[in-house]
Structure 1
Amino acid sequence: MKIRQATQQDASEIMKLFYETIHTINIRDYSQEQVNAWAPDTMTVDKWVKRQDTKQTFVADHNGKIVGFAEFEPDGHIDCFYTHKDFQGQSVGTQLLDTIVTQATQLQLSRLFVEVSITARPFFEHRGFAIVKPQEVECRGVKLINFVMERYLS
């Protein structure tokens, strides 16, 4: 597996991974109504391409298949961070996070921060992130619980 910068040609596969992971993995911690709001059937590839204009998107590429992706912003914010539903627990997220930490260090950032799902919270806690606060957010009219977390870099 290699971590690389996403290209516009990756947008469709990234969108599919996002949708399937939320509907298969996050459904364990959220209701059907919540996952439908979070990852609706109405998503478009164009919106995913546009996201790449404002964020640095890394993908985990396993033999030509995207098995994870993470979006990183220059202020240290990690936006989307997802591992393919069939590659959970196989170090995909760890390798993506290691890449982000390296990038943040090169940018001389002192802190990374992220809003994580109930599902992703243990992953980030095990990698040095601390909860700043739980929060209730609204997504397409549906309320969800997530956690603001941060990690200081040395």
Structure 2
Amino acid sequence: MIRKATESDAEAFCNIIRTSIIELCGPDHQGNKEILEDWLENKTVENCKAWIINENSNSFIAEKNGNIVGVCHIGHNGHLFLCYVLPSVKGLGIGGALLSVAERSVVNLDSKLIFLESTVTARGFYKHHGYIEKNKDNNDLNFSKLILP
């Protein structure tokens, strides 16, 4: 089940992000402690709470058997800030379901273009869901997707 995140979800929201980065994003941080610490620095409960209550964005959580297993956060301007799942549910379609709900949540706000900066780990995920990689000549992992109502 996917639902809008609430302020009371902030701790679980943060834990999902941190766990996913640590355990699933090895190709990005390559076990480098400095890179990992920099990446996790702003992934705090306080920041997650601020993201969830921000009136210019939408945050969603996915639940399985009563447990929060995935999170997604998108700006009303179409900027997908994050989409993470726990390692135990990777490949089960939960990330794709979160992504779809996030996309639909902003298309009615006149955001027809969804854009994001991906990790190396998630590159295939976004391509699989119809996102087009931009700037292939440099090492930026920028993707976009046109969404029609």
Q: Tell me the TM-score range normalised by the shorter chain.
A: 0.7 to 0.9
| Unpaired segments ≥5 residues, structure 1 | 137-144
Q: CA deviation at 1:44?
A: 3.3
Note closer, same or farther for the CA distance 1:146–1:52 as it changes in structure 2 (3 Å cut): farther
How far, CA to CA, are the matches of 1:16 and 1:104 in structure 2?
25
Q: 2: distance between equivalents of 1:85 and 1:135?
A: 31
* 1:47 equivalent in alignment to 2:41: no
Provide structure 2 residue ranges, at least 5 long, that are not aligned to the other structure.
Answer: none
Alignment partner of 1:109 is 2:117: no
Give how far 1:134 is off.
6.0
Inter-partner Cα distance in structure 2 for 1:130 and 1:53: 30
Across the aligned residues of Structure 1 and Structure 2, the Cα RMSD in angstroms comes to 2.0
Question: Taking every aligned residue pair, what percent have the same amino acid on both sides?
Answer: 24
What is the total number of aligned residue pairs between the two structures? 144
Deviations along 1:52-104, whole A, 9 cap, x unmatched? 23231000011221111100111011101101121100101110111122223
CA distance in 2, matches of 1:110, 1:100: 12
1:59 counterpart residue number: 61
Partner of 2:91: 89
- d(CA) in 2 for partners of 1:89 and 1:21? 13
Deviations 1:7-31, CA, capped at 9 Å, x for gaps: 1111111111111111111013322
In the superposition, the TM-score normalised over structure 1's length comes to 0.84
TM-score by length of 2: 0.87
Structure with more of its chain in helix, by fraction = 2
The equivalent position to 2:75 in structure 1, one of 73, 79, 96, is 73
Q: Distance in 1 between matches of 2:112 and 2:38?
A: 34
Distance 2:78 2:146 in 1: 10
Provide the C-alpha distance between the structure 2 equivalents of 1:112 and 1:28, rounded to a whole number of angstroms. 24
Task: State the match for 2:147 in structure 1.
Answer: 153
In 2, Cα distance between equivalents of 1:5 and 1:12: 15
Shift of 1:135: 9.8
Q: Is the 8 A contact 1:70 1:81 kept in 2?
A: yes
Greater share of strand residues, 1 or 2?
1
